[in-house]
Every structure is written in C-alpha cells, then in structure tokens.
Amino acid sequence: MGRLEFQKGLLFDELTSAPYTLKFWSHDRIQEACVIADKNYHTLADICRLNALTMITFAGSGHIGTSFSAAEIITFMKAISCHEDTKLKEFFNCQFFSSKGHDAPMLYAALHAFGEIADEEIFKFRRAKGLEGHPTIKTSGVITNTGSLGMGISKAKGFVYANRLSKISRKVVVLLGDGELQEGQIWEAMPGAARDALHELVVIVDSNKIQSDTWLSHTLDLGNVKERVESVGWQFLECQGNSIDELGSALEKSISAKKPTWIQANTLKGAGVSFMEKFDPNGKFYKYHSGAPTEHEYEIAYKEILQRVLLNLGDTPTSKEKMEVEAVTYNDLPKHRTNSIVDVYASCLVELSTKRSNLFVMDADLSYDTGTYKFARTHPERYLQCGIAEQDMVSMAGTLALSSWVPIVHSFATFLSMRACEQIFNNATEDSTIVYVGFLAGVLPGMPGVSHQAVTDTIHMASNPNMRLFEPSNKREIELSLLRAVEEFGPSYIRMQSIGVVQSEPQEDLDIGTIWNLGEAAIIICSGVSILEQAQKAVTLLKSAELNVSLLTVFDINKLQNSEALSFISKHSLIVIIENSLPGNLLKAKITDAVLNKSENQSEIYSLGLNSLPICGQNEEVLEFHGLSAYKIYQYILAKAKM
C-alpha cells in the first residue's frame, strides 16, 4: 500500500501507489480565483471539469462524457441556488438534482466549489464512506438518490407538491439525460405536472445526443421532442447548454410561465476537451461514457482545460503564476481488469446463435456492457436494440416468445429485474421460453453504488414460480446455462457477475457446476465469477494454514436438488455456502433441504452473505465490508473448522 499526499498537506491517506501526478483545485484556491465572486461561471465550470477529471481518474471509473456536457448546467444551477442572481432570484434556494445521476463527478465538483463538500472528499469518490458512484442523500447537498434512469420528473413533482403543502414558494429544477427520455416514466410523469400547473418545475435536458453505447439517433430516436413536450401542456425552450448566457435566458423565460418548463439544452458529450467531443462511431462505442482515462488522456485533457482556465483568469488580479495548481502524487491507479467475463459471454452467445436460428437477442443500450454488440455484428437480422426502455423490451420479448422465437433479453440485473418486474411476471404467466440475462449482478463492481449493484434480482426473478435460475462462473458454465435456458421450456434467468476474472483450472466438471478444488476439511459452495475469485484465494490461504477444503461452483441452481453433486457435497462435514444476494439464503435453503434429506448426514451447514444492501466503494472495500473477501472467507472457515 502506498500513500496519497497533497503537496500542501491537506490530505493524508493510505492508497495504492501510482506512477503519475494528479492535480486538484482546493475550495480555497477556487475562492481565491474569484471565479464565483466575479460570476465567471464558464471558468468555474472548467475548474469543476478539472476536479471531476481528477476524481474519475483517481477512482479508476466514473462518467466523464456526461459530467463534461453538463458542466455549465450543473455549476450554474448551483451558483444561482447559492448566490442570489438579479435576473434569476426566483432560483435562489431552489431545489436542484440530477436524475441521470451518473454525472455525479461534476455534481460533486460543483458542491465542492460552493463549499458543500470538503476538499478531502474529492479523493473519496467511489470509495467506502466517500462520495457514491451515483448520488445519494448521504452526501450533503444531494436531495434524493438517483442512478436508475427515468424517475427524475416524478421526483421533482414530489418536491413541488411538498413545497406547496408547506406553503414554500420555491423552484424545483431537475436535470435529465437525453437518453433517459427513452424511459416511459418520463412521459408518464408529464401530464400530471400540466394538470396541476406545476410552474415551479423546470426540467433541463442535457442533450448531448450520445447515450451509453453510441448516438441517440442510432439507438432510438426520440421524435420531435418539442411537440411531445408541448402536446402535454408544458412550455418548451431550447438553448445551448454549454453557454451560461443562453442557460440564463432560458431559465428567465421559465419564471413567468404558468406551467412547467422544459429546457432542451443542447450540449456536447465530453464538452471542453477536443478529443472527447469528437465521435465518429464507425462501428465503435463512444469512448468517454464511462471508465477512467489513461495517463496520457488525463494529461492532455487536463492541459487543454487548464490552459483555458488560466487564459480566462489572465486579466484578473489572480495572476497565472498564482494559479499553479496543487498536485497529488500517487504511484498506482486501480487496475482495470482485462480478461472480462462479458467477452466470454459474448462469444458463447454468438456461438450458440450460429447453431440455433430461432434465437433473438435484445438489449437496452448496454451492448458493450452485456457483450451483445458481438451478436449484433454477426446476426444483425436477429438483433433488436431497444434503447433505454426495459419494460418495452421485456413485453416485446413476451410476444416474440409466443411466436416461436426464443428471445434472449439483456440489461443490468437491477434494471431488468425491477424496472420490468411486472412485464416479466406477465410473460411468466404465459410460460413461454424467454432467457433474461442480468449483468452487474451482486455486490461487485462496488463503484457505481446501490442503484447498480443488483442483489435483490434473484428474489424478484425467483418469485415467478416457473423461472429457472442460472449463475455461471466460467465459459463452460455459461455455455451450459445458455444452452439449457434456450432448450428447456419456460423462462430462465441467467445472473451474470460482470467483473473480470483470473481463474485456475477446474478439477472436475459436474452437471450442475464445477469442482475447483478437492479437500476434506470443508466445502465452499458459491456461484458467479466474483465470489469464485475470492473463494479460490481463500482456498489458497487455507492451504497455507494446512486446511484442505473443496470448492464447488453451482450454476444450475434448480437442478441441484437431484444432482450427482449432492453426494459430493454431503461427504463434507462442514459446508459453507457463500451468497451474493439478498436474502442470502436461497442456495443455502436448497442445499440444506437436499442434504438433510440424506438421512444419515451429519454435516454442519453455514452461510456467508449479505445482511444489508451493499455499500458503494472500491471492490476490495466492498468485499471486506460485507465479509466476502478472500481473507474474511478464510478466517470464517478457519474458525468453523476449529470449532
């Protein structure tokens, strides 16, 4: 473990070491630059860009593109809500939040600039007890939890009604993404605001025209947004969203309206950094939607923004020389995993689909994250990009399945299992063959926070009595999960833990899982790549403590009951099941039932798992907190084995 040290000694923290220098603007330095006092908001936005860039680079992940496109909107909204503006005094003390949520780095940078977040917090972005990957009310200045798209207008309406009830006259401003407008709840929320003439409500759309994968127009065009908005009784305004002047004028026009206002703010994704503003898809994904920049990218981007900042400050009393920024040195950035299970899944899907011409693949603007882009290239005629519209996708899958196609439906586990919960149930009442594949399942990655760490997905999916559950841990298990899901009649859920993996060779392949190690002292049973990785490390640690334990992954959970694996499991007097979901007793219950049925069995059965929703943080922090790290597993088994 290296350490992080501010040149001015503001922060002193233990972190892994890094090879290059990250720069940072302290709150005092921003004040000193007089940008806020002088209402030099373009420069303020740029300074916030610098801090957001550092934050994301330091955290090893985060959303640059949307943070930068929304920089002027967010900093200006914070400015006029904190400092009374002559023309916009109605926005003083207004309630402002971002519905899309993944622009959190820019939001935090702005909160920091206005003193709501302390300097040291900036370096706790996406870390345990720090600033969460998507905003939550734990952070001062954040007024509601966001991160799952589409809820923003409804939430803003709730604030307006609450203010009216409390006789508080106050504007409520919500920032939406344009990709987010594909969610039905946005349009569901609008008529009510018109009915009740919620003139306090202002929606600003950060219209950067690029969503998670690519151009919005290449994904799912929104139609004529102006007409869509006006036809439900709202005022529609349009402006350049990276221009403070234009934003100000639009906000001014909203003041006298007797109805809610929608400001379509045209922005550039990655605005402020030339190479991030450019995007020519040509079959590629927009590179700066999420993830950390490389060292080279960081340096170039920082330089471009900093030069603009210094130039703009050139004529102010604060000289260029004085504006030398603080520097943070550390020796190592969190590594990105290379051998990703998503790529393995992507290949398995293509392979199976080549053999089976009745498979139809659907995705909701996450083709990179679910690996379906590969299928889209090989079998475009059997691929449907649905946009950020999970309910629509799932209901379409329902009737495709009734028409002798086998839809394989992809999204993040949390959105799929909960946003489309009733649609999945409706399909299940038809008992047709549909494969739901939920990525980002379980506590890892821990950085995006609780809106993305699906842990209740299993229980939601399993509530459909005819749903089969799969949770594979390697290529063979993925292949078999897919094969069984499409071959056997009825719906299935394949739960995918998305992180990269380093795996040793299996010892033995079973019908319902894989034996990774053979030992006599105990057996560890788990599912999915991220827990398997920890369990494998725990096995090694236990070996060094002269305790040999077996390790089994189970991917075909429903078939466990009658499988050959049971007698293998029963041989062990100590059974420890690790579950990466809430409530964490599904697998344990199945194993307990099955093993106890073998009447002479005397095994002791324990389980390790979650007692609460997962915390946000770096993966190691999250595993440690929830007792799921290799070391915690090792300790647990050691203690049980010695009892």
Contacts of its own copies in 324-363 (CB under 8 A): 360
Which residues, including other chains, have CB under 8 Å from residue 540's CB and lie 6 or more apart?
A: none
User: For its own copies, which is the closer residue by CB, 327 or 402?
Assistant: 402
Look at strands 201-207 and 172-177 and give their pairing. Answer: parallel
Q: Which of 499, 568, 193, 229 is nearest to 341 (CA)?
A: 499
Interface with its own copies in residues 251-310 (CB under 8 A): none
User: For its own copies, which is the closer residue by CB, 174 or 239?
Assistant: 174
User: For its own copies, which is the closer residue by CB, 418 or 641?
Assistant: 418
Amino acid at 576: V
Interface with its own copies in residues 622-641 (CB under 8 A): none
Residue of 60, 387, 491, 513 interacting with its own copies (CB under 8 A): 387
Q: Which of 622, 26, 139, 9 is nearest to 334 (CA)?
A: 622
Residue of 40, 139, 182, 261 interacting with its own copies (CB under 8 A): 182
Q: Does 404 bind its own copies (CB under 8 A)?
A: yes
User: For its own copies, which is the closer residue by CB, 122 or 424?
Assistant: 424
CA distances to 294, 383, 542, 584, 633 from 615, rounded to whole Å, are 27, 35, 27, 16, 18
Q: What's CA 209's distance to the chain center, in Å?
A: 20
- Interface segment toward its own copies; rule CB under 8 A; list 117-125, 336-344, 397-405, 544-552: 397-405
State in angstroms the smallest separation of the CB of 196 from its own copies. Answer: 8
Q: Does 68 bind its own copies (CB under 8 A)?
A: no
User: For its own copies, which is the closer residue by CB, 93 or 395?
Assistant: 395
Q: Does 553 bind its own copies (CB under 8 A)?
A: no
Q: Which of 253, 74, 88 is nearest to 176 (CA)?
A: 74
Total chain residues near its own copies (CB under 8 A): 91
User: For its own copies, which is the closer residue by CB, 17 or 466?
Assistant: 466
Residue of 69, 235, 391, 473 interacting with its own copies (CB under 8 A): 391
Residue of 199, 374, 460, 468 interacting with its own copies (CB under 8 A): 460
- Interface segment toward its own copies; rule CB under 8 A; list 305-313, 385-393, 479-487, 527-535: 385-393
Q: Does 414 bind its own copies (CB under 8 A)?
A: yes
Contact 250, 90 (CB under 8 A): no
Task: Mark residues 136-155: x for contact with its own copies by CB under 8 A, - for none.
Answer: xx-----xxx--x-xx-xxx
Amino acid at 347: S
Residue of 18, 56, 111, 389 interacting with its own copies (CB under 8 A): 389
Interface with its own copies in residues 29-58 (CB under 8 A): none
Residues in the chain: 643
Tokens of 581: 């979901």
Interface with its own copies in residues 463-502 (CB under 8 A): 463-465
Residue of 30, 94, 186, 341 interacting with its own copies (CB under 8 A): 186
State in angstroms the smallest separation of the CB of 613 from its own copies. Answer: 6
Spatial separation of the C-alpha atoms in residues 484 and 544, rounded to whole Å? 39
State in angstroms the smallest separation of the CB of 357 from its own copies. Answer: 10
State in angstroms the smallest separation of the CB of 389 from its own copies. Answer: 5
State in angstroms the smallest separation of the CB of 631 from its own copies. Answer: 25
Task: Mark residues 564-583: x for contact with its own copies by CB under 8 A, - for none.
Answer: ------------------xx
Interface with its own copies in residues 585-614 (CB under 8 A): 612-613
State in angstroms the smallest separation of the CB of 220 from its own copies. Answer: 6
User: For its own copies, which is the closer residue by CB, 392 or 533?
Assistant: 392
Residue of 293, 334, 398, 528 interacting with its own copies (CB under 8 A): 398
Q: What element of type H or E holds 642?
A: helix 630-642
435-439: strand order across its sheet: 383-385, 359-363, 406-412, 435-439, 492-495, 468-470
User: For its own copies, which is the closer residue by CB, 423 or 530?
Assistant: 423
Q: Which of 219, 502, 458 is nearest to 341 (CA)?
A: 502
Tokens of 294: 């490389």
Cα-based angle 311, 312, 315 (whole degrees, multiple of 5): 90
User: For its own copies, which is the closer residue by CB, 5 or 230?
Assistant: 230
State in angstroms the smallest separation of the CB of 425 from its own copies. Answer: 6
User: For its own copies, which is the closer residue by CB, 66 or 146?
Assistant: 146
Q: Does 412 bind its own copies (CB under 8 A)?
A: no
Q: Does 25 bind its own copies (CB under 8 A)?
A: no
Residue of 17, 378, 403, 597 interacting with its own copies (CB under 8 A): 403
Residue of 419, 468, 495, 626 interacting with its own copies (CB under 8 A): 419
Q: What element of type H or E holds 411?
A: strand 406-412
Which string of DSSP letters, residue by residue, matches 62-124? --HHHHHHTHHHHHHHHHHHHS--STTGGGTT-EEEESS-TTHHHHHHHHHHTTSS-GGGGGG
CA distances to 45, 84, 104, 232, 620 from 242, rounded to whole Å, are 9, 21, 17, 27, 37
Contact 486, 435 (CB under 8 A): yes
User: For its own copies, which is the closer residue by CB, 10 or 560?
Assistant: 560
Interface with its own copies in residues 192-251 (CB under 8 A): 192, 194-195, 220-228, 230-233
Structure letter (DSSP) for residue 608: E
Which string of DSSP letters, residue by residue, matches 151-202? -HHHHHHHHHHHHHHTT----EEEEEESGGGGSHHHHHHHHHHHHTT-TTEE
Which residues, including other chains, have CB under 8 Å from residue 214's CB and lie 6 or more apart?
A: 281, 285, 286
User: For its own copies, which is the closer residue by CB, 230 or 624?
Assistant: 230
Tokens of 18: 């890094």
Helix (H, G, I), strand (E, B) or coil at 643: coil
Residue of 166, 282, 544, 602 interacting with its own copies (CB under 8 A): 166
Task: Mark residues 429-448: x for contact with its own copies by CB under 8 A, - for none.
Answer: xx------------------
Residue whose entry in the numeric block shows the structure tokens 């190479």: 275
Task: For 454-578, list the strands marked E by DSSP.
Answer: 468-470, 492-495, 508-509, 513-517, 522-526, 549-554, 574-578
Residue of 215, 425, 606, 631 interacting with its own copies (CB under 8 A): 425
User: For its own copies, which is the closer residue by CB, 159 or 634?
Assistant: 159
User: For its own copies, which is the closer residue by CB, 143 or 255?
Assistant: 143
Which residues, including other chains, have CB under 8 Å from residue 220's CB and lie 6 or more apart?
A: 182, 365, 385, 386, 387, 388, 389
User: For its own copies, which is the closer residue by CB, 242 or 464?
Assistant: 464
Which string of DSSP letters, residue by residue, matches 221-238? ----HHHHHHTTT-EEEE
